[in-house]
Amino acid sequence: MKSIYNFCIVTLLFASVLLQGCKKDKVTGASPDTFNTKEFTYNTATKQLSPEAELNGELSSPAGIKLIYCYLVRSNTTDSLIYIGTPTEDSRSNYKFSIPSSAYSTAKLTQVAGIKIMVKHLDNTSFEGFIKLTAFTPPLPKLENVPASLLPDGADKINITGKASSENGLKQIEIFDDYQGSFVLVNKIDLPNNDKTYNLNYAYTYRKNASNLKVIITDKFDLKAEAIINIPLKKFSLYKDLVMMANGTAAAPSASSFFFGETGGVTGTCNISGQEKRLDFVTYCSSTFVFTIYGPANTTTISKNYKCGTLIWEPSTTDLKATKFRALVPGTADADRIYAAYNSNSITDLEDTFFGSIAAPSSSTVKYDAATPAANAFNLTNAYLVWIKVPEADGTSTNQLLRAKEVTIGSAAAVSTIKFDILVSK
């Protein structure tokens, strides 16, 4: 009985030794590894890391590194394996690694804590390291007080204003227009000092066919804000600083008594013959020094005073337009609105509806009267806008808006002049 007992003891001991010899993995224990890395931040807006472009570290291990497993650690979900690193044979003791951004590019990192590094050694022991990673969402830049719509002035300039700001610091401001159809760069303003605020005041020169402007600001994180400025199509042509002489004399014929709205051109007594059908209005000064603008059809009594040497102007009345005039006198809501629109350069068309309830032009003449403005009398101080309605051959009419700027009465009435700007409806 005793021998049987001893045999069993020996058998159990042998089995125990055999099982111990068959086990391949050693018990996991702490390894004296050294792990060097940096703390990283992740910009959720630009999806970029800092202070370096990729998460990285350096492991030194006396036991030798077989594999590293990198787990993304977030507070709102379970850890997920994103990368496995395998050192080459000559880097198993000292392994530098980087985790490519593609390994976590689709992951939401707003609540990221870091990357857990699980190291498996050649002797099957292990080590754990950690790369701290903090999400950072920078504030977006702002572009404020940019007008929604602007019009070119008489010199084809548009003054673009607004306030750009960014707590991150501004890097650049770009101006685009769409004169080619799609937006193209007009100019770029670099801000090398990363100003946090910038007051935009840029003079853009209008390019034909442009209907929109775009302003884009970019901060140092490449975050952007933009604004669109509409450029309404002007349905009129603007002719500036035109000078017309009154009827002139035989010895000094006028070279600029006749105005053609379709071109914004003027001509004189010696050249008007044959062009009467195109003529919109004429200028004249009476012997009593009253400077007057006439509708062509109303010039039958004064045409003999337009002379070119021994020749006089003798137009056919059937060729002449019955142009009508109305000086706009401030004091009514519509007249005041038109003056405000003119002076703010916000007129886009000269359709009849633009003039509101103001009665259509009905006078065949309009004169300069510095003292007493009226529907048929303009001045240079407050009643300086004249609505002109020109009948066309097809039965329609064209509106014009004249802005009187100077009237110079000569020592001889016939050489007096007027200087004006004029908008002619297209």
DSSP string, 33-81: -EEEE--EEEETTTTEEESSSSEEEEEE-TT-EEEEEEEEEETTS--EE
End residue of a domain, out of 110, 136, 162: 136
Q: Is residue 399 part of a domain?
A: yes
Of 426, 397, 403, 259, give the one whose Cα is nearest residue 338. Answer: 403
325 and 410 share a domain? yes
Residues 131 and 68 placed together within one structural domain of the fold: yes
Residue 26 has pLDDT above 90, yes or no: no
Do 421 and 364 fall within a single domain?
A: yes
The predicted pLDDT at position 27 comes to: 37
**Tokens linked to 10:** 């020996």
pLDDT band at 31 (very low <50, low <70, confident <90, very high): low
Q: What is the CATH number of the domain that holds 217?
A: 2.60.40.10
Q: How far apart are CA 37 and CA 128, in angstroms?
A: 13
The 3-state secondary structure of 231-288, one letter per residue: CCCCCEEEEEEEEEECCECCCCECCCCEEECCCCEEECCCCCCCCHHHCCEEEEECCC
Q: Give yes or no: residues 275 and 293 share one domain.
A: yes
Q: Are residues 180 and 118 in the same domain?
A: no
Is the N-terminal amide bond of 147 cis, ω within 30° of 0?
A: no
141: Cα within 13 Å, side-chain hemisphere: 29
Whole-number pLDDT of residue 128: 96
Domain annotation covers residue 326: yes
The predicted model gives 123-134 an average pLDDT of 96
Looking at the domain assignment, is residue 6 inside a domain?
Answer: no
Q: Which domain holds residue 155?
A: 142-230
Question: What tens digit of pLDDT does each residue of 292-342 get?
Answer: 999 999 999 999 999 999 999 999 988 899 999 999 999 999 999 999 999
For tokens 């259509």, name the residue. Answer: 360
C-alpha span between 388 and 365 (Å, rounded): 10
| 58 and 206 part of one domain | no
Tokens of 138: 């920078």
- Where a domain ends, among 104, 136, 168? 136
pLDDT at residue 17 in the model: 33
- Evaluate whether residue 29 is within a structural domain: no
**C-beta separation of 49 from 221 below 8 A:** no
Q: Is the pLDDT of residue 234 over 70?
A: yes
Q: Which of 136, 153, 183 marks a domain boundary?
A: 136
The band of 19, judged by pLDDT with boundaries at 50, 70 and 90, is: very low
Residue 194 and residue 75 share a domain: no
Question: Is the CB of residue 314 less than 8 Å from the CB of residue 388?
Answer: no
Q: Are residues 261 and 329 in the same domain?
A: yes
Residue 246 and residue 297 in one domain: yes
| pLDDT of 353 | 97
**In a domain? residue 54:** yes
The pLDDT-based confidence of 69 (bands split at 50, 70, 90) is: very high
How many angstroms separate the CA atoms of 65 and 59, rounded? Answer: 9
Binned at pLDDT 50, 70 and 90, residue 58 comes out as: very high
Number of domains in the chain: 3
Give mean pLDDT, residues 91-110.
95
Asked whether residue 386 falls in the same domain as residue 246, the answer is: yes
Lowest mean pLDDT among 24-33, 66-75, 212-221, 365-374: 24-33
pLDDT tier for residue 25 given thresholds of 50, 70 and 90:
very low
160 plus 50 within the same structural domain: no
| Phi, psi of 106, rounded to the nearest 5 degrees | -95, -5
In this structure, how many other beta carbons lie within 10 angstroms of the beta carbon of residue 205? 13
For residue 26, is it within any domain? no
Q: Would strands 365-368 and 377-378 be described as parallel, antiparallel, or unpaired?
A: parallel
Q: Is 23 part of any domain?
A: no
Same domain, 261 and 198: no
What pLDDT score was predicted for residue 45?
86
Rounded Cα distance, 163 and 182, in Å = 25
Position 17 in a domain: no
pTM: 0.68
